[in-house]
Chain A
Amino acid sequence: METDRIKKIMDKHYKEIEVPGDLEAKLSATIDRLAAEESHGVSQRHSRRVTLWKVLAVAASVTIIITLALFLPVRDSHLQIADTFTNTRDAYLETEEVLLYVSSLMNKGVDKVSETQKNISALNTVNKYIEIQ
């Protein structure tokens, strides 16, 4: 009984509303459009994820290549340096010769500094003499 009463009220209420003829077509077109958009969004997200993985793979490869380039030559046995001398006496003589050369160069530098200091002190003496005059 109650249901019939509600139906009557609703019929009376909706009798005044005009339903467009193409509403059903419009609704189904909207549903189709939304469904198409949703599936497009999913594929976009998927392609973005693939691009991210690609970028990560490239970055990892570059890192590996750089690391190998830095460390591989050090471990390469062909690049190990061989001693020039096979006995300590020859090695000592060569070291002595090199150190003598280095010492003479250092002494030359020190001499230049002392020479300059002498010139500066001579110049200071001359300046003092001029000031006194």
Chain B
Amino acid sequence: MKKLILIAFTCLLTVTAFGQSRFYKKFSGYEGMTKVYISPSMFSLMGNDMQLELTEDLNIAALIKNMSGLYVLSTSNKGHIAEMRKDFNDMVKTGEFEVLMEVEDGTEKVIMYLQKQEDIITDLFICADENEEFSVIYLAGKMTSEDLKEMMKGVKN
């Protein structure tokens, strides 16, 4: 019985872990979808390339070194938006997500979710709904709240 519970739990964890990239895999094939994927290998290469310090507005060097994936999906197709919203909500329900913030400003609505392992942020999801455009951004890696604060410094709205 214990073995069965352990197997079921392992399966559940695997499903959750692959759910995030599966979401990208599914919607990146849709027509009219703007998509960006930056792999862990690319982040590793970026981290080694010290000449890539291009802006003074944003201090992201520390953040990039610890990032392991960046996924962006954006669309203005109403049918795709409805499906994405449903799948995104399902994904959030299956994982242990914490709402970081929810901002509503006129027609713009942004919700940020995060997943933590102790004090380290391992996943950051941004779901932005603005002017008939729906975007989902997923940052994977090991980030601290200090890294995020540092990133926010010097950036104006």
Interface string of A72-91 (1 = CB under 8 A from B): 01100001011111001101
In the complex, are the beta carbons of A84 and B11 less than 8 A apart?
A: no
In the complex, are the beta carbons of A81 and B25 less than 8 A apart?
A: yes
B155: which A residues are within 8 A, CB to CB?
A: 100, 103-104, 107
In the complex, are the beta carbons of A88 and B45 less than 8 A apart?
A: yes
B110 at the interface (CB under 8 A from A): yes
A84: which B residues are within 8 A, CB to CB?
A: 35-38
In the complex, are the beta carbons of A102 and B157 less than 8 A apart?
A: no
In the complex, are the beta carbons of B101 and A85 less than 8 A apart?
A: no
Most chain B CB inside 10 Å of its own CB: which residue of A85, A92, A101: A92
Number of residues on chain B facing chain A (CB within 8 A):
48
> In terms of DSSP, what is the predominant structure of the interface of chain A?
helix
Min CB distance A3 to B, Å, is 69
Of A24-32, A36-44, A109-117, the segment with at least 4 beta carbons within 8 Å of chain B is A109-117
Q: Which of B25, B110, B137 contacts A79 (CB 8 A)?
A: B25
In the complex, are the beta carbons of A107 and B52 less than 8 A apart?
A: no
Q: Which of B43, B46, B49, B70 contacts A98 (CB 8 A)?
A: B70
Number of residues on chain A facing chain B (CB within 8 A):
33
A61 to B21, CA, bound (A): 28
**Closest residue of chain A to B25, judged by CB?**
A79
With A89-B52, A96-B55, A102-B139 given, is the CB distance from A109 to B101 under 8 Å? yes
B128: which A residues are within 8 A, CB to CB?
A: 105
Other CB < 8 Å A-B pairs besides A88-B45, A103-B155, 7 of them?
A71-B14, A81-B39, A96-B55, A102-B151, A103-B58, A104-B157, A106-B148
Pairs A-B, 5 closest by C-beta atoms:
A103-B155, A109-B101, A109-B103, A92-B52, A103-B152
The 21 listed contacts between A and B (C-beta, < 8 Å) are: A71-B14, A81-B28, A83-B38, A84-B36, A85-B38, A92-B49, A93-B54, A95-B46, A95-B67, A99-B60, A99-B63, A100-B58, A102-B124, A103-B58, A103-B155, A106-B148, A108-B103, A108-B105, A109-B101, A109-B103, A109-B110
